[in-house]
């Protein structure tokens, strides 16, 4: 287990499309452990494998700091099947720590994924968790929140304070 370095924009690995996971052996288990350790050491609610330089379709979501009744989610090869109730929210990213931006996201999502053991599951969620899932799934396709901003001049903001746990992923 290890806390891994989080790649920062404009690292070219953050702009790559990631590969589907086909092997659910020890390397995947190690990747998930590293994502857990790295996210736990970060002010974030989600992390995607490419953010630690691994171009595989694996995401970890953890909003339990804010919503203790929820649980950590591991999404392997995720596919969002429903997006509902779009709104504009303020979003951040562990790989772009100095900025936040207004981004249009669905408040409610349904996704299908495999867990870390390769078992398929589906999950419906909303709010911060739904936003984090959209943000992290974007990372798997090399899409960053800056790519989702309607107007770079008016919708991107330099942080005045250190990043907090608020909607960062």
Q: Which residues are catalytic, by number?
A: 136
Least CB distance to Ni ion at residue 80 (A) = 16
Q: Enter the tokens of residue 80.
A: 């969002």
Which residue in the set 93, 103, 109, 113 belongs to the binding site for Ni ion (CB under 5 A)?
93
Which range touches Ni ion (CB under 5 A), out of 74-82, 86-94, 108-116, 154-162? 86-94
Three-class SS state of 132: helix
Which range touches Ni ion (CB under 5 A), out of 88-96, 100-108, 125-133, 157-165? 88-96
Cβ pair 135, 106 in contact under 8 A:
no
DSSP string, 42-79: TT-SEEEGGGGT--BSEEEE--TTT-TTS--EEEEEEE
Task: State which residue, 125 or 169, has the beta carbon closest to Ni ion.
Answer: 169
Contact flag: residue 169 with Ni ion (CB under 5 A): yes
* DSSP-assigned letter for residue 93: -
Instruction: Tell me which residue has its CB nearest to Ni ion.
Output: 93
Contact residues: Ni ion, CB under 5 A: 93, 169
């Amino acid at each position: 287990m290890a806390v891994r370095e989080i790649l920062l924009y404009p690292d070219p690995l953050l702009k790559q499309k990631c590969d589907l996971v086909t092997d659910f052996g020890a390397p995947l288990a190690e990747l998930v452990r590293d994502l857990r350790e790295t996210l736990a050491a970060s002010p974030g609610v989600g992390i995607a494998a490419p953010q630690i330089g691994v171009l595989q379709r694996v995401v970890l979501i953890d909003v339990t700091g804010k919503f203790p009744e929820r649980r950590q989610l591991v999404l392997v090869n995720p596919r969002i099947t429903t997006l509902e109730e779009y709104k504009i929210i303020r979003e951040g990213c562990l790989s772009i720590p100095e900025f936040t931006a207004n981004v249009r996201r669905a408040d409610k999502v349904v996704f299908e994924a495999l867990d870390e053991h390769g078992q398929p599951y589906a999950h419906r969620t909303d709010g911060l968790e739904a936003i984090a899932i959209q943000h992290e799934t974007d990372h798997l396709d090399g899409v960053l929140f800056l790519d989702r901003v309607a107007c770079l001049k008016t919708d991107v903001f330099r942080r005045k304070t250190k990043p907090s746990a608020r909607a960062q992923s």
